[in-house]
A = this chain, B = another copy of it.
Amino acid sequence: MSTEPAPISFARGAPSLDIIDVDGLRRAAERAFSKDPAGTFAYGTAVGYKPLRAWIAERHGVPEDHVIVTNGSMQADAFLFETLVQPGDGVAVERPSYDRTLLSLRQREAKLHPVELESDGINVTALAELLAGGTSISLAHIIPNFQNPAGYTLSGDKRRALVALAREYGFTIFEDDPYVELRFTGSTEPTLLSLATSGEVVYASSFSKTVCPGIRVGYLVGDPELIGKITTLATNTYISPSMVSQSIVNEFVRGGSFDASIETVKTALSQRARALADGLRTHLPEVQFVEPDGGYFMWVQLPEGVDGDALADAAANRGVAVVKGSDFLTDGSRNALRLAFSAVTVPEIEEGVTRLADAYREIT
């Protein structure tokens, strides 16, 4: 009788249940339902639950009409792309970048221009050369903190240079920033949004990583004219997002649970990132990676000639799920993996890395 090894997932870019503040969510729901049943249970409007919108606006130091709160930030992205990206438009993307965003942009028939992602963020010099060479883009998609899939963070100097480029060439920066609160070492750089002077940046984030993903609350911050167009699109699509979800999030973030919840998440993520890095150094010294300062992900580059897709398959046979690096690249390159450390405990990580190393020995 064979015994299957317990599955271990480095594939899921999601928090494990043990770092979700279930009790805080229960108390937030009780308060939301008691304090504002009319706002929670009636139809709202497409701008979102207004007290939460006000909280977000205050946090970003903008007027409320710069903010729309949506059913998760992917939905916000979809509205944004429908508004700003027409078929044939040029869009600069990081290389590698989040596979779902690449898919959405391709489905809009955007012309993607991948620009190398370095360990301090997108190669701004390469982007500047692309633009100087006459390539026209309407949008640049940037995940500035603890990038998905690489875990890299954009430096302050590059942030300022990017905003200057957007101003010079008249494109919009889409600052896609769901992981910003999850920094466990170092200091936070200013948002691109805060560096913008005349609507060069539209900012997206969500509560998926700080409250929980199943509640599906995300948002956009940007120029009020753009937000107004997106609000019309949202009204015509779903009248209003879930007021119940947003009212619960509003009580969660205002009720004192938020900072404690983020601390819990960051502590766990920090331990997990460290365990993963230590495990790789011990068992797989052949691979290269940058230990992230926050977030969920680590990008593992394999030696020349080692096939990441084959490694992912070999790992799967040992009960370890990883995502092939090729999913995040548009050019078919195959010598990387994305390892998510968000949904695995430290013992699972240690066991998972030894199995991954076994798989590596098998295919090389």
On whether the beta carbons of A41 and B243 are closer than 8 Å, the reply is: no
Number of copies of this chain that the complex holds: 2
Task: Bin chain A's interface residue count.
Answer: 35 or more
Q: Is A103 an interface residue (CB 8 A)?
A: yes
Q: How far is the CB of A47 from chain B (nearest CB, A)?
A: 14
On whether the beta carbons of B238 and A215 are closer than 8 Å, the reply is: no
On whether the beta carbons of B37 and A237 are closer than 8 Å, the reply is: no
A-B contact pairs, 30 of them (CB 8 A): A17-B37, A17-B38, A20-B41, A20-B42, A22-B37, A26-B29, A26-B33, A26-B34, A29-B33, A41-B212, A43-B214, A71-B241, A71-B242, A75-B237, A78-B236, A100-B236, A100-B239, A103-B236, A212-B244, A214-B240, A214-B243, A214-B244, A215-B242, A215-B243, A216-B238, A216-B243, A216-B244, A242-B244, A242-B245, A244-B248
A44-B214, A215-B242, A242-B244 known; 9 new pairs, CB 8 Å cut-off, are A20-B37, A26-B30, A72-B239, A72-B240, A100-B236, A104-B236, A212-B244, A216-B243, A216-B244
Q: Is A357 an interface residue (CB 8 A)?
A: no
Cβ-defined partner of A25 (8 Å) among B41, B43, B74, B236:
B41
Please indicate the chain B residues that have their CB under 8 angstroms from the CB of A25 in the complex.
Answer: 33, 41
Within 8 A of B (CB), among A229-263: 236-245, 247-248
Please indicate the chain B residues that have their CB under 8 angstroms from the CB of A14 in the complex.
Answer: 42-43
Q: Write the chain B residue with the least CB distance to A17.
A: B38
